[in-house]
């Protein structure tokens, strides 16, 4: 499958000041997003997710490494962005405009004219058509976020970048938003999203990467990630005499037991169950939740950093102030500065 986003050795260091240490927000990030993916970029606060997204979009110049978006280096103003959309983490809206004026304004930023029916469809899709005349100063946080989502759909994007898209949305619109993303994805849009809402990521993403302190600590197919490390079956069966001690019954009714069994015991369990006249209703491998995997991996990272600190090795240690910065922080919105590294 073709790569939509290829990231290799991506590093971003923000220069320190007299009063602030320099920060290495990304420390050599590698991964690849394929066409058709719904890719979740996860990580704790400050992990580097938004910085990474700015680099993917050419809004920040990397200190080192390379980013290829649809095979090209992303540059502001490039024709590449006619079919790419981005919903920032904290969008700043032109508050003096109405909902529909704002949408028309965003549409005007594309070189390719966007037909009015697309704006209409986007407003309908996020349930904002009835609020089209409302001035943004009067819109709630969630309404503005819906407008942001609508704005990210108007160019019918091939690649959609979303930074914390469900912030401030109520559960009903979160569900509708999920459906919108899945529908767009079925129609061919590749989605790359930053999120803290792991349950949501688990529901829609097929691939994820976890960033921690600027490094990718886990990357792969979600299904695979949730299977690894689990070694247990969830069983539903009828009650039977002398269940083996390895079978932990968690719920009992007169007609049904629900329980867990270590993976290695499954064949013997089924043999015993049927020999004793029991019936197996359901048996499935217990996947881990993304939250379990996430917390475990991030904690492992913390422990490693602490070990390194005790041993006095440099891995994981922050940059001391006064180190030579390898990259500048360009203004978001364009810089003429030459790339280094």
Q: Which residues bind Mg ion (CB under 5 A)?
A: 49-50, 89
| Only segment of 3-11, 41-49, 286-294, 318-326 that touches ligand ATP (CB under 6 A) | 41-49
Q: Is residue 140 classed as helix, strand or coil in its secondary structure?
A: coil
Tokens linked to 313? 């090795």
The distance of closest approach from Cβ of residue 31 to ligand ATP in the complex, given in angstroms and rounded to an integer, is 15
Helix (H) or strand (E) holding 26: strand 23-34
Taking Cα atoms as reference points, which of 196, 161, 168, 149 lies closest to residue 52? 161
Looking at the DSSP assignment, which residues form a beta bridge with residue 69? 5, 72
Closer residue to ligand ATP, CB minimum distance, 47 or 59: 47
Taking Cα atoms as reference points, which of 92, 95, 176, 106 lies closest to residue 134? 95
What is the Cα–Cα distance from 119 to 150, expressed in whole angstroms?
8
What count of Cα atoms within 13 Å lies in the side-chain half-sphere of residue 251?
8
The distance of closest approach from Cβ of residue 222 to ligand ATP in the complex, given in angstroms and rounded to an integer, is 19
Q: Does 212 bind ligand ATP (CB under 6 A)?
A: no
Tokens linked to 295? 């917390």
CB atoms within 10 A of CB 224: 9
233 binds, among ligand ATP, Mg ion, none (CB under 5 to 8 A by kind): none
What is the Cα–Cα distance from 93 to 304, expressed in whole angstroms?
42
Q: Does 329 bind ligand ATP (CB under 6 A)?
A: yes
Q: Does 86 bind ligand ATP (CB under 6 A)?
A: no
| Only segment of 45-53, 91-99, 174-182, 247-255 that touches ligand ATP (CB under 6 A) | 45-53
φ and ψ at residue 220, rounded to 5 degrees: 165, -170
Tokens linked to 286? 């217990």
Closer residue to Mg ion, CB minimum distance, 5 or 154: 5
Would you say 237 and 256 are in contact if contact means Cβ atoms under 8 Å apart? yes
Provide the terminal-to-terminal Cα distance of the chain, rounded to the nearest Å: 30
329 binds, among Mg ion, ligand ATP, none (CB under 5 to 8 A by kind): ligand ATP
| Only segment of 44-52, 125-133, 243-251, 295-303 that touches ligand ATP (CB under 6 A) | 44-52
Q: Does 49 bind ligand ATP (CB under 6 A)?
A: yes
Q: Does 14 bind ligand ATP (CB under 6 A)?
A: yes
Q: Does 51 bind ligand ATP (CB under 6 A)?
A: yes
Q: Does 47 bind ligand ATP (CB under 6 A)?
A: yes
Number of residues that bind ligand ATP (CB under 6 A): 13
What is the Cα–Cα distance from 239 to 90, expressed in whole angstroms?
55
Q: Does 143 bind ligand ATP (CB under 6 A)?
A: no
What is the Cα–Cα distance from 119 to 115, expressed in whole angstroms?
7
Q: Does 23 bind ligand ATP (CB under 6 A)?
A: yes
Q: Does 316 bind ligand ATP (CB under 6 A)?
A: no
| Only segment of 40-48, 97-105, 233-241, 288-296 that touches ligand ATP (CB under 6 A) | 40-48
The distance of closest approach from Cβ of residue 82 to ligand ATP in the complex, given in angstroms and rounded to an integer, is 26
165 binds, among ligand ATP, Mg ion, none (CB under 5 to 8 A by kind): none
Q: Does 50 bind ligand ATP (CB under 6 A)?
A: yes
Would you say 74 and 80 are in contact if contact means Cβ atoms under 8 Å apart? yes
The distance of closest approach from Cβ of residue 303 to ligand ATP in the complex, given in angstroms and rounded to an integer, is 20
């Amino acid at each position: 499958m073709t790569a939509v986003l290829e990231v290799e050795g991506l590093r971003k260091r923000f220069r320190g000041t007299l009063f602030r240490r320099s920060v290495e927000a990304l420390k050599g990030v590698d991964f690849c997003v394929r066409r058709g993916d719904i890719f979740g970029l996860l990580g704790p606060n400050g992990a580097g997710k938004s910085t990474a997204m700015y680099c993917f979009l050419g809004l920040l110049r990397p200190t080192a490494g390379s980013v290829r978006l649809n095979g090209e280096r992303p540059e502001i103003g490039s024709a590449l962005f006619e079919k790419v959309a981005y919903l920032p983490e904290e969008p700043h809206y032109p508050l003096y405009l109405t909902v529909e004026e704002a949408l028309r304004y965003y549409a005007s930023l594309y070189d390719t004219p966007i037909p009015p029916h697309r704006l209409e469809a986007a407003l309908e899709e996020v349930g904002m058509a009835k609020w089209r005349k409302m001035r943004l100063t009067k819109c709630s946080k969630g309404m503005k976020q819906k407008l942001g989502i609508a704005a990210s759909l108007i160019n019918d994007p091939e690649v959609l970048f979303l930074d914390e898209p469900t912030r401030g949305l109520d559960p009903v619109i979160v569900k509708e938003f999920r459906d919108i993303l899945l529908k767009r994805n079925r129609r061919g849009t590749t989605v790359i999203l930053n999120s803290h809402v792991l349950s949501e990521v688990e529901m829609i993403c097929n691939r994820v990467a976890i960033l921690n302190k600027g490094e990718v600590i886990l990357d792969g197919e979600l299904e695979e990630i949730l299977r690894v490390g689990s070694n247990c079956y969830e069983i539903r069966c009828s009650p039977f005499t002398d269940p083996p001690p390895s079978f932990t019954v968690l719920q009992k009714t007169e007609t049904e037991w629900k329980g867990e069994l270590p993976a290695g015991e499954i064949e013997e369990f089924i043999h015993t169950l049927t020999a004793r006249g029991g019936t197996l209703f359901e048996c499935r491998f217990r996947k881990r939740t993304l939250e379990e995997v996430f917390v475990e991996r991030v904690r492992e990272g913390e422990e490693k950093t602490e070990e390194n600190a005790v041993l006095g090795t440099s891995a994981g240690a922050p940059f001391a102030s006064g180190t030579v910065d390898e990259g500048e922080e360009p203004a978001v919105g364009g810089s003429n500065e030459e790339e280094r590294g």
